[in-house]
A and B are shown apart, each in its own frame.
Chain A
Amino acid sequence: MTTKLRFDPVLLLAVPAAIYMVIVFAIPVLWLVARGFMDADGFTLSNYIKFLSEPFNWVVIGNTLRVAFWTTVVCLALGYPTAVALARSKGAVQVAMLIAIILPLSVGVVVKTFAWQIVLRRDGIVAALLVATGVWDEPKLLLFTEHGLVMGAANVFLPFMILPIYSVLKLADPNLQDAAATLGAPPVFRFFNVALPLAMPGIIGGVSIVFSLATSMYVIPSLLIGDRFQTLATLTGRAFLLMRNEALGATTATILLFLAVAIVACSALLSRGKGDSR
């Protein structure tokens, strides 16, 4: 059997999007990456050496990854069960659930973060509830803390976790679980050996999307934690908008891009390896 490369005209359908993305994304990103490796004399690594030799910048990288990690964890913990319930539901219930998940996407990030401000403030609902139930002795500050940021970010990104998992689970045969049960698999075994592997492509998709969004978020931290907590994204924004320091901005942006791509690629590779051995 010869594998002859035959041109499929249907592929042409992707040409407009490809041209569009090359102009608005690929060329600017390449320029940006190249800019980080340039100074007045040409190629250089000095921008990176300068940035990475400053201990505080490692704190910034740590901030970025830690917040993105916990945001992804919260989204997964809340999103996976929701996606299972959504895939299992039918009719009006499913429509209502889908609306409840998708409708918040139409509310802008700024509006959402302002709503969080009201919910999380000292005389807000959450603090009142915690005091009333005796968890707290007195109202404390939830706003403008890392916990508040993770809660807010997870709220914004949750649909991006639920929807990919749901779309995968929807296609899986619901009888597989029952089949495993009739063959004597206990619930925990069924979860790890049937349910989870079936959902894995969706989980990888959701984790990749949420993690990438969370490493690069800019508006959410600037509103939910403010100017006293820097991430790579806020440093990049400031380098370009305030300091007009293209070299610094290109460096931080490239590090951010590298970290996001590397972690997403690693998680995909890891799970694929696992899938093959199955």
Chain B
Amino acid sequence: MTEPTRLALRRRSFLAGSLAGAGILAAPAIVRAQPKEMVVGGASSQQTWTNEIMIPAFEKKYNIKVVYEGTRSLVNLEKMQKNKGSQYLSLVQMDDPVMITAVAEGLLTPLTKVVPNAASLKPGVTHMEGMWVNYLQPWVGIAYNTNRMAAPTSWAEAYDPKYKGRVILPGLQNTEGVMNLFLASFLKTGKPMAEAQKDMDAAFAKLKEMKPNLLMAYTQEGQAYNLLEQGEAFMVYGSISTLALARKARGAPIELAAPKEGTFSMPSGVALVKDGPMPEMAAAYIDLMLSPEIQAQLAAATYALPTNGKVPAPAGLDKLVIHPIDWANVSANRASWVTRWDKEMSL
């Protein structure tokens, strides 16, 4: 009675094993059989507009299949590190601080000479002699509940005692949280933004003054917007346009204010992988991404500012100053800033 059962089990496991083996063998064959396929490494948060705008436009124009691998910047970096010598990614969309590492490790190749539209980019969005460019500027403002307060005009407003317990900050784990340190330093010292980014003593001294006004510091932005839309919080201080304006468009009673001191934009770089497959096609992809038509579409879909100077900024934002961020400084010091935040901003 036991014998046939055992035999059946063995057969089944043999079958499963051989299927798995066939799968492993088949995978590279599929890749090999499709030479006209270009792989783009990016972030999963960029998947929607890539699928809806970029890929259809590119595939139509060049008749080539694009595969988008949406993950995180550091994972893309690891993919390039591990495949050095036989890269399979043609281009990458990564955060600016990660781009710096990739440049240092010789994983990128300059794009400005092979991408004609790079010539019409706004100042400040081409980095390290054309190693990467920003294709969009998701700007950071103050999101506020329109039922609870009037539009804030300055970053200083959140320090007003009338907002006791009503302000939400991003934690320093979030990149938009790091920018609050620069703003605090700027408000404390009045130094130009570029210098203010270096003065962390002033930054923490100022940010601590906001403690009585703080409702919380978030790591999950969904929670922050939830509290804002319910009216428990009046403002999210350091809110990304891509998120806040998308929620507003869905009917949330919120608005995103662009303070008069100017602001920063979230990292959003694109670069060519050094010795990556299909370099001409990769350059063409970036060129299309930076073209006025696609820039206008991307900016509308993501509520970010276009980086091509020929594309007008959304209404009311044409005078908004985007201050550059010294990402090398951020990368080198972020861990120590986080530790300091834990101590000085704790409950």
Contacts and interface: CB of A to CB of B under 8 A. Distances in A.
A242 B346 contact: no
A56 B342 contact: yes
Given A143-B232, A225-B216, A228-B214, A117 B226 contact: yes
Contacts of A243: 335, 338
Interface stretch (B150-158, B165-173, B269-277): B165-173
A48 interface: no
Nearest to B232: A121
Interface in A94-130: 114, 117-118, 121-123
Contacts of B231: 123
Interface residues of A, number: 27
Interface in B212-243: 214-220, 223, 226-227, 230-232
Interface in A122-157: 122-123, 141, 143-146
Contact of B232 (A122, A225, A244): A122
Contacts of B338: 238, 242-243
A56 B227 contact: no
Contact of A146 (B173, B335, B347): B347
B216 A143 contact: yes
Given A227-B172, A228-B345, A117 B227 contact: yes
Given A145-B347, A242-B338, A243-B338, A227 B218 contact: yes
Contacts, number: 68
B74 interface: yes
A229 interface: yes
Interface in B309-347: 335, 338-339, 341-343, 345-347
Contacts of B232: 117, 121-123, 143
Nearest to A243: B335
A222 B173 CA distance: 12
Nearest to A141: B165
Contacts of B347: 144-146, 225, 228-229
A117 B223 contact: yes
B157 to A, nearest CB: 21
A247 B342 CA distance: 19
Contacts of B335: 243, 245
A122 B335 CA distance: 34
A228 B345 CA distance: 6
A226 B342 contact: no
A59 B227 CA distance: 28
Given A114-B226, A122-B232, A143-B232, A226 B171 contact: yes
A243 B342 CA distance: 14
A243 B341 CA distance: 14
Given A145-B347, A238-B173, A222 B220 contact: yes
Interface string A223-245: 10111111000000010001111
B346 A141 contact: no
Contacts of A225: 216, 347
Contact of A121 (B173, B223, B230, B339): B230
Interface string B122-165: 00000000000000000000000000000000000000000001
A229 B346 contact: yes
19 contacts: A117-B230, A123-B232, A141-B215, A143-B216, A143-B232, A144-B216, A144-B347, A222-B219, A225-B216, A226-B217, A227-B171, A227-B219, A227-B341, A228-B171, A228-B214, A228-B217, A229-B347, A230-B342, A242-B173
Given A117-B230, A226-B218, 8 more contacts: A59-B346, A60-B342, A117-B232, A121-B227, A146-B347, A222-B220, A229-B347, A244-B74
